[in-house]
Amino acid sequence: GEMGLRILIVGCDPKADSTRLILHAKAQDTILSLAASAGSVEDLEIEDVMKVGYRDIRCLKSGGPKPGVGCAGRGVITSINFLEKNGANEDINYVSYDVLGDVVCGGLI
């Protein structure tokens, strides 16, 4: 960040658009979509899912089911567990979670 702080944004919406402006790119691939392609979330490395954008802000997207289908909270929790296990929060001053307001089934709110 501008003040020398290390910031991580974890986007948790199905559209995967909360990191788009910071990365100056199209929507980022999500942890869940990459895990589905790789076989499981255990087959991913943090470098596969974390992108660095404007002012060295680190960006990740959890992903989830399409709106109205399944439990988005489950995908968010799977992603957060993956991030913690792989040290994504190490050396970070602030983490911002962009979570849908209706993700209540996973116990996040």
pLDDT band, very low/low/confident/very high, at 109 (cuts 50, 70, 90): very low
Cα–Cα distance between 74 and 7 in angstroms, integer?
24
Domains in the chain: how many in total? 1
At 11-21, the pLDDT tens digits run 876 665 778 88
- 84 assigned to some structural domain: yes
Q: State the residue range of the domain holding 73.
A: 7-98
At 22-71, the pLDDT tens digits run 998 877 888 888 988 999 888 999 998 999 999 999 998 887 666 666 66
Edge-to-edge strand ranges of the sheet holding 7-11: 51-52, 58-61, 7-11, 94-98
* pLDDT score at 82: 87
What is the CATH classification number for the domain harbouring 48? 3.40.50.300
- 104 assigned to some structural domain: no
pLDDT band, very low/low/confident/very high, at 96 (cuts 50, 70, 90): confident
pTM to 2 decimals? 0.78
* pLDDT score at 13: 66
